[in-house]
């Protein structure tokens, strides 16, 4: 057997040759595949993960940052290239960059289970965010927090669809939530300006639509009305203004959602009544008073009040004085005690309030129902025994203490 220069033996030469083949192979791993099928043929392009959606949304403009290679494959995992004849037959061109752009725009993105779950979780949060922006608690005209709406959507077993946008699915989820919780679409605040000749017709239309008229301003030639209406009535009012006023009317959207956003930290936490300001105040129930077991049941795991148990609806929640708050204070549902001791009926609150224990140990909470309703208020006491009121105040104090 002849000697090969640079190698001690044929065995060393063959081993080196095999290693060169293995090292020289270029495998397309850790890629996102976009698949396109037409005329019974399959075409694929290899992309960087998380870049395809950026390309489709217009965030990424450079195609080289999206594609791993400007090549059209028949099968990416096997590394087989698409035939030139098939490309011309299906796309009418052999320019692979143009074809890659078509596949990126119209093809199906193949994602892993983890990636699909991340997309579902993101869309689920977007749906809850839309509901938080457009819906309110009818008892106090305040919006619900996103976390509360997420728990509520899980309570009603609502699932999202990746092929539809968040707003469409939020509008579909609203009737489902309304069947179980006290929630409604926030009213839209409009300002209507029409000639005096349309005065009677305008008032009749708003009465028919059950609009809440806030202000009326009459001048020599025009009438201006500010009102609250259901969002679904906007098109009808807009069409009437255009047709009836003969181009002299004007419709302005003052607010897409008329909400009271003075404090949105917690839908059921309110300011501490005056008599609870002293740290020496007893947190036990009054003599002869017993905790109402039905009050706890009226609160779901998401923190919502069932609509059948809800307080009467009011459009605007006026600020209440401390004396009125004290008058509305009901029976003790959970006497002053540790957060970890909250009953299972308040599991969602227990989970949310546990953050205080992580920040600073020793916090206590007391739950009280309001008279004439099923709303439950939470009052917090610091590790030193000081009454701080609602959860937002307690969290602020705990965060401050944790930094020292």
Radius of gyration of the chain (CA): 32
Bigger pLDDT: 356 or 312? 356
C-alpha 187/C-alpha 214 separation (Å) is: 13
Report the candidate in 261, 256, 386, 363 with the shortest Cα–Cα distance to residue 316: 261
Q: Is the pLDDT of residue 112 over 90?
A: no
C-alpha 279/C-alpha 381 separation (Å) is: 8
Q: Which pLDDT score is estimated for 43?
A: 93
DSSP output for 266-301:
-TT--PPPGGG-STTS--SPPTT----HHHHHTB-T
Confidence of residue 276 (pLDDT cuts 50, 70, 90): very low
Confidence of residue 287 (pLDDT cuts 50, 70, 90): very low
| Terminal-residue alpha carbon distance, the chain | 81
Confidence of residue 385 (pLDDT cuts 50, 70, 90): confident
Q: Which residues are registered as beta bridge partners of 338?
A: 364
C-alpha 378/C-alpha 334 separation (Å) is: 9
Lookup: tokens for 259: 């909400």
Q: Is the pLDDT of residue 400 over 70?
A: yes
User: How big is the CA angle at 15 (ends 13 and 18), to the nearest 5 degrees?
Assistant: 110
* Prediction pTM value: 0.47
Q: pLDDT tens digits, residue range 325-361?
A: 444 566 788 888 888 888 887 777 887 788 888 888 8
Residues counted in the chain: 404
Distances (CA, A) of 183 to 47, 79, 117, 118, 268: 43, 54, 28, 28, 13
Report the candidate in 368, 367, 370, 360 with the shortest Cα–Cα distance to residue 394: 360
C-alpha 390/C-alpha 286 separation (Å) is: 22
Q: Is the pLDDT of residue 321 over 70?
A: no
Q: pLDDT tens digits, residue range 135-189?
A: 888 877 788 888 889 999 999 999 888 888 888 898 889 889 888 888 888 888 8
Are residues 330 and 368 in contact, defined by beta-carbon separation less than 8 angstroms? yes
| Mean pLDDT to the nearest integer, 4-9 | 55
- CA 25 centroid distance within chain: 46
C-alpha 181/C-alpha 65 separation (Å) is: 47
């Amino acid at each position: 057997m002849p000697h090969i220069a640079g190698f001690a033996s044929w065995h060393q030469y063959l081993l080196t040759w095999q290693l060169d083949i293995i090292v020289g192979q270029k495998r397309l791993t850790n890629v996102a595949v976009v698949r396109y099928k037409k005329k019974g043929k399959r075409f694929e392009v290899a992309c960087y993960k998380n870049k395809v959606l950026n390309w489709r949304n217009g965030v990424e403009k450079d195609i080289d940052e999206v594609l791993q290679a400007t090549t059209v494959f028949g099968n990416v995992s096997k590394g087989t290239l698409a035939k030139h004849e098939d490309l011309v037959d299906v796309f009418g061109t052999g320019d692979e960059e143009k074809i890659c752009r078509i596949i990126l725009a119209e093809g199906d993105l193949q994602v892993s289970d983890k990636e699909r779950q991340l997309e579902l979780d993101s869309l689920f949060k977007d749906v809850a965010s839309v509901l938080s922006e457009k819906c309110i608690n009818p008892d106090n005209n305040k919006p619900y927090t996103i976390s509360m709406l997420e728990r509520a959507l899980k309570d009603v077993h609502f699932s999202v669809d990746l092929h539809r946008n968040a707003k469409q699915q939020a509008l579909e989820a609203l009737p489902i939530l309304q069947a179980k919780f006290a929630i409604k679409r926030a009213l839209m605040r409009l300002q209507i300006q029409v000639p005096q000749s349309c005065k009677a017709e305008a008032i009749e239309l708003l009465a028919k639509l059950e609009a809440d008229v806030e202000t009326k301003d009459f001048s020599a030639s025009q009438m201006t009305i500010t009102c609250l209406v259901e969002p679904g009535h906007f098109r009808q009012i807009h069409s009437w203004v255009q047709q009836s006023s003969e181009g002299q009317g004007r419709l302005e959207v003052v607010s897409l959602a008329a909400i009271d956003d003075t404090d949105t930290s917690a839908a059921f936490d309110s300011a501490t009544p005056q008599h609870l300001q002293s740290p020496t105040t007893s947190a036990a129930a009054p003599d002869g008073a017993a905790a109402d077991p039905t009050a706890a049941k009226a609160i779901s795991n998401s923190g919502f009040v069932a609509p059948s148990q809800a307080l009467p609806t009011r459009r605007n929640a006026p600020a209440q004085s401390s004396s009125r708050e004290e008058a509305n204070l009901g029976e003790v549902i959970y006497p002053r005690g540790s957060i970890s001791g909250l009953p299972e009926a308040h599991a969602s609150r227990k989970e949310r309030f546990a953050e205080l224990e992580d920040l600073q140990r020793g916090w206590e909470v007391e739950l009280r129902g309001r008279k004439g309703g099923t709303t439950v208020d939470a009052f917090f006491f610091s590790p030193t025994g000081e009454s701080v009121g609602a959860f937002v105040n307690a969290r602020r104090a705990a965060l401050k203490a944790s930094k020292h």
